[in-house]
Structure 1
Amino acid sequence: MNEVVQERVLVTGANGQDGTYLVRRLVHEGHVVHGMCHSPEGAQRLRVTFPEAMAHVADLSDGDGIAALVASVEPTHIYNLAGNTSVARSWEYPAETADVLGVGPIRLIEAAWKLAERTGNPVRFVQASSAEIFGDATMVPQDESTPRVPVTPYGVAKSFAHEMVGVYRQRGMFASSAILFNHESPQRPVSFVARKISQEVARISLGLSDKLVLGNIDVHRDWGYAPDYVDAMLRIGRADAAGDFVVATGVSHTVREFVQAAFAHIGIDHWESYVVIDPAFYRPADPKELVGDPSRLRALGWQPSVDFTQLVSLMVDSDLAELTGVAG
C-alpha cells in the first residue's frame, strides 16, 4: 500500500455509521476533510462533532449540486457512502432507491471525472457497494467474481452503481468498489436488526422490557465491525491499483446466533421465551446466506480486529451504558 500523504477527501453520507467513523479516522490522520450531509441539521451536527472538518449540504439526486460541490472542493479522494442503507426501506421507496443509490453515484463519479479533465489532477473514487448485489447467491462464499443477481430494490440499485464504477475504471479512472457485507457498531440505528437486538437485550437485562420481536432469524450473514470496514475502504482508496474488493470476515452466523450471543452476554442462556417471531418483519425477498471471501482485500494487509462474539458484546455493552447513563 502507498505511503499515506495528506489527502483532500470528500466523504458523502458523513453523518452515517460509516461516514462518522471515516471522518474521525481521516481527521485524526491530519487530512483535509469535507463531509457531504443530506440536511442543514446534519451539517451542523458534523461541524459540532468534528470542528476540523468542513460540512456541506447536498443530495445525490441533485446533479447540478453534486457537480458544483466536487468542483469547489477539488478532492483527491471521494468516498461515496451516501444514501439510505436500509434494504427494508428500499421496498417502500423503490424509485427513490434507484435514483439515489443507483444513479446518484454516477452523478458523483462523472463530476470527479470532469474535475480531473479540467485540472489534470486525478481523483480516486471509492464506492460503498453491498453484498446485496449478489442476491440469493448459490456460490458460497461470495467473492468479486460471483454473479450479481440482486433480489431487492436496494441490491439492484447498488448493482447498477457497481457496474458503472467498473465502466469508469475502464476509462482510466481510479474507481473502486468496496463490496461491504453486514457491518455493525453502536452507531447503527435501531431500525437495523443487529442494533435492535443489542438494544432490546440491554433493556431486558435492566428490566425495562420482556420481549424481543424479530422476523426470520435463520438467515445467515457475515457480520463485521464498522471501524474495521472503514479501514478496509481506506486501504482500497490508497491501493496501488483500483478494483473491486469484498469486505467481509469470511465467517457466517445466523440472526439466531446473534440473539443467542447477546443474551449469553447478559447471563441468559434460555433466551427463547423472550423472543417473539412476527411474520410482519419478514422481507419480500431475503438472501439466505451472504458470506464473503476477503482474500483480495487481505492482500492489502487488512484483517478484522473484532470477531463475532466481541462485536455482539461491545454492542450490548454500549446500549447498557447508554441506558444507564454511564459514559462509554
Structure 2
Amino acid sequence: MTASIPIPAASKRALITGITGQDGSYLAELLLSKGYQVHGLIRRASTFNTGRIDHLYQDPHDPDAKLFLHYGDLTDSSRLVTLIEKIHPDEVYHLAAQSHVRVSFDEPEFTGNTTGVGTTRLLEAIRMVGVDCRFYQASSSEMFGATPPPQNEDTPFYPRSPYGAAKVYGYWIARNYREGHGLYAVNGILFNHESPRRGETFVTRKIARAAARIALGLDKDVYLGNLDAVRDWGYAPEYVEGMWRMLQADEPTDYVLATGTAYTVRDFAQFCFDHVNLDWQQYVKFDESYLRPTEVDALIGDATKAESLLAWKPRTLALQLSHVMVDAELNRARKA
C-alpha cells in the first residue's frame, strides 16, 4: 500500500479521503467487496494511524491488489491535483475532516481550514483536472444545531460550533460545484453513527469502553458532560452503504441518513452499563470541562427521502448498537 507503485487498470476506481477513520474503513471494506479499486488519502506522520484498515492490507506489488494508500493533505492543493490526475477516480468519497465537535471550539481556524476549505481544494482539483467523477461530501447533522427536530433535507441550518459552521460551508460549496460546474456532487447529511471503530474520545465509545473496563475491574468510573443531549444514533456500516447508494443514483441530490429515534446520553449510558449488569449512576461522574460553549440540545433525523429514493433503511438502533460496542470493548480488554 504505497503511492510509488504504478496503478493498474480497473473497472471502477474510488478515492476515499479519511480512509483511516471509522467511516473510511467500513467504506473501504464495502467497496472492495464490490470489486472496486480503492485509493485512500492519508496524512504523513511520525507514527502509523492505519489500525482500522490494517486487516485490508494488500501487497501493492501484487497484480491483483485493489487497495492503495497515498500520502496527502487537505491543506495542500497541488498534491490534491496531482493525486486526482494520477488516480483518475470514478467516485470520490470525501470523509476527511477535523471531526471532533468539542475540539473545534479550541481549534476553530484549523477546523475551518480542513473541514471547510479543504472541501473546496478537493472539488477544485477535480474541476481543474477535468475528471468525470461522482463526488460525495460528508455533511453532518451538526449543521442543524439549534434548529428544532425532526430535521430533514429542507430544514434550515443553525450550526452551534466551528465544526458545524465548517460543515455548512462544505455543504454549500459542494452544491455550488454541482450547480455551477455540473459536477455530480452529493451531500450526505448523516446523523450520529457509531461502531466499535469510533474514536475513543467520542461519547458513545467512551461510555461503552468504560462500562466494559469497569465490569472487568480495570477502571472505577467515567467522566461525562451533558447527559441530557438528545441524539439519533445509528450503526456506521449501514450508513456507509447509504453513501455508496447516493453515488449510484441517476441524478445528484442531497440526503439525510438517520434512524428517526431519539435517546439521551443518559439513555446510552444506561444501555451500556445494563448490558454488564451495573448501575450506571454509581460510575458516571460529571465534568463541566466536557460541556460545549454552545450546546446542541436535540438532533433527530427524518430519512424519508433516502428510504424512498435509495431504498435505504437503518436496521440497528441505539440499544442493539450499545450492546455491539460494549461486547467489542470486553473482547479488546480481555485480549489486552
Quick check: 219-228 or 31-40, which moved more? 31-40
> 2:197 is paired with a residue of what secondary structure?
coil
- Where in structure 2 are the equivalents of 1:143-154 lying within 5 Å? 143-154=152-163
Using a 3 Å threshold, how does the CA distance of structure 1 residues 177 and 74 change in structure 2: closer, same or farther?
same
Q: Deviations over 1:99-147 (max 9, x none)?
A: 101110111111112233xxxx521000001011111112x11001111
Identity of aligned residues (%): 40
Question: What TM-score do you get using the length of structure 2 for normalisation?
Answer: 0.91
CA gap of 1:254–1:44, structure 2 versus 1, over 3 A, is: closer
TM-superposed deviation, 1:286: 1.6
* Preserved contact between residue 10 and residue 77 of structure 1 (Cα < 8 Å): yes
- Once the two structures are superposed, what CA deviation does each residue of 1:14-35 show, in whole Å capped at 9, x if it has no partner? 1000001111111121111110
* Alignment counterpart, residue 140 of structure 2, candidates 117, 120, 130: 130
Q: Per-residue deviation at 1:47? A: 6.7
Provide closer, same or farther for how the CA distance between residues 271 and 48 of structure 1 changes in structure 2, counting only shifts above 3 A.
closer
**What is the SS of the residue equivalent to 1:276?**
strand
The aligned length equals 316
Residue 124 of structure 2 corresponds to residue 110 of structure 1: yes
In 1, the alpha carbon distance for the partners of 2:147 and 2:188 equals 18
* One of 72, 75, 86 as aligned partner of 2:100: 86
**Are 1:174 and 2:184 matched, yes or no?**
yes
State the SS of the aligned residue for 2:155.
coil
Whether contact under 8 Å (1:47, 1:55) holds in the other structure is no
Instruction: Return the alpha-carbon distance in structure 2 between the equivalents of residues 47 and 205 of structure 1.
Output: 29
For structure 2, the residue ranges without an aligned partner over 5 or more in a row are 1-9, 59-65
Instruction: Give the alignment partner of residue 31 of structure 1, picking from 33, 36, 46.
Output: 36
Are 1:277 and 2:277 counterparts? no
Match of 1:50 in 2: 57
Matching residue of 2:61: none
What is the CA–CA distance in structure 1 between the aligned matches of 2:83 and 2:154, rounded to whole Å?
A: 34
Aligned residue runs from structure 1 range 241-280, under 5 A: 241-268=251-278, 270-280=279-289
User: What is the aligned partner in structure 1 of residue 248 from structure 2?
Assistant: 238
CA gap of 1:99–1:110, structure 2 versus 1, over 3 A, is same
Counterpart of 2:333 in structure 1: which amino acid? Answer: L
Q: 2:102·2:290 contact (CA, 8 Å) conserved in 1?
A: no
**CA deviation map 1:274-302 (0-9, x unaligned):** 11111111111121001110011112111
Q: Helix, strand or coil for the counterpart of 1:203?
A: helix
Shift in alpha-carbon separation, 1:209–1:231, aligned structure 2, 3 A: same
Q: Distance in 1 between matches of 2:188 and 2:229?
A: 23
For residue 215 of structure 1, report the CA deviation from its aligned partner: 0.5
TM-score, normalising length: structure 1:
0.93
Q: 2:3 — aligned with what?
A: none
8 Å contact 1:43–1:56 — kept in the other structure?
no
1:6 positional shift: 4.0
Q: Distance in 2 between matches of 1:69 and 1:92?
A: 31
CA contact under 8 A between 1:47 and 1:53: conserved in structure 2? no
Task: String of CA shifts for 1:73-100, please: whole Å, max 9, x gaps.
Answer: 1001000001221011111110011110
Q: Look up the SS of the partner of 1:175 in the other structure.
A: strand
Distance 1:135 1:191 in 2: 20
Q: How does 1:96-107 map to 2 (within 5 A)?
A: 96-107=110-121
Question: Aligned to 1:202, which of 212, 226, 231?
Answer: 212
The separation in 2 between residues aligned to 1:6 and 1:193, in whole angstroms, is 40
In 2 relative to 1, CA 47–189 (structure 1 residues): closer, same or farther, beyond 3 Å?
Answer: closer
Q: 2:91 maps to what in 1?
A: 77
